[in-house]
C-alpha cells in the first residue's frame, strides 16, 4: 500500500509549472495529469502525480486557463511522443 505525498496547492503558477516539469522529466512513464473544473465555484484544478508525489494548482482566474492549457498541451505532446526528451520545457 503506497502513501501518496499530497502537496498543498501551489500559490504561484511559476512554482507549480517548474515542479510539474521536474516531476515529469524525472520519470515520464509514471506521471499522469488530471484537469478538473467545478462550475459551481468556478475553480479549475490541475494535478500532476507519479503516485509518490502529487502536485496541485487551483485557480478561478481566467488568465490562468491559458497557462494551464499551454502546460497541459506540452505534457500531452511529450507523453505521446516516441522520442526521448531531454532539456527543459518553457512554461511561460
Within a domain: 7: no
Within a domain: 34: yes
User: pTM of the predicted model, to two decimals?
Assistant: 0.76
Domain hosting 67: range is: 13-75
Within a domain: 8: no
pLDDT at residue 75, rounded to an integer:
86
CA distance linking residue 53 with residue 68, whole number of Å: 19
Q: Once rounded to an integer, what is the mean pLDDT over residues 37-54?
A: 93
CATH number at residue 70: 3.30.720.10
pLDDT digits (tens, 9 = 90+) for 6-20: 678 999 999 999 999
pLDDT digits (tens, 9 = 90+) for 18-29: 999 999 999 998
Domain count, the chain: 1
Within a domain: 2: no
Within a domain: 25: yes
Within a domain: 82: no
Within a domain: 17: yes
Whether 56 and 68 have beta carbons less than 8 Å apart is answered as no
- Residue 92 confidence class, pLDDT cut points 50, 70, 90: very low
Amino acid at each position: 500500500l503506497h502513501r501518496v505525498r499530497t502537496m498543498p496547492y501551489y500559490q504561484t503558477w511559476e512554482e507549480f509549472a517548474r515542479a510539474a516539469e521536474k516531476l515529469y522529466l524525472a520519470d515520464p512513464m509514471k506521471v499522469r495529469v488530471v484537469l478538473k473544473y467545478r462550475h459551481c465555484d468556478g475553480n479549475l484544478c490541475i494535478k500532476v502525480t507519479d503516485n509518490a508525489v502529487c502536485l496541485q494548482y487551483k485557480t478561478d482566474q481566467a488568465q490562468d486557463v491559458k497557462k494551464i492549457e499551454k502546460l497541459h498541451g506540452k505534457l500531452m505532446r511529450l507523453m505521446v511522443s516516441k522520442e526521448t526528451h531531454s532539456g527543459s520545457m518553457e512554461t511561460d
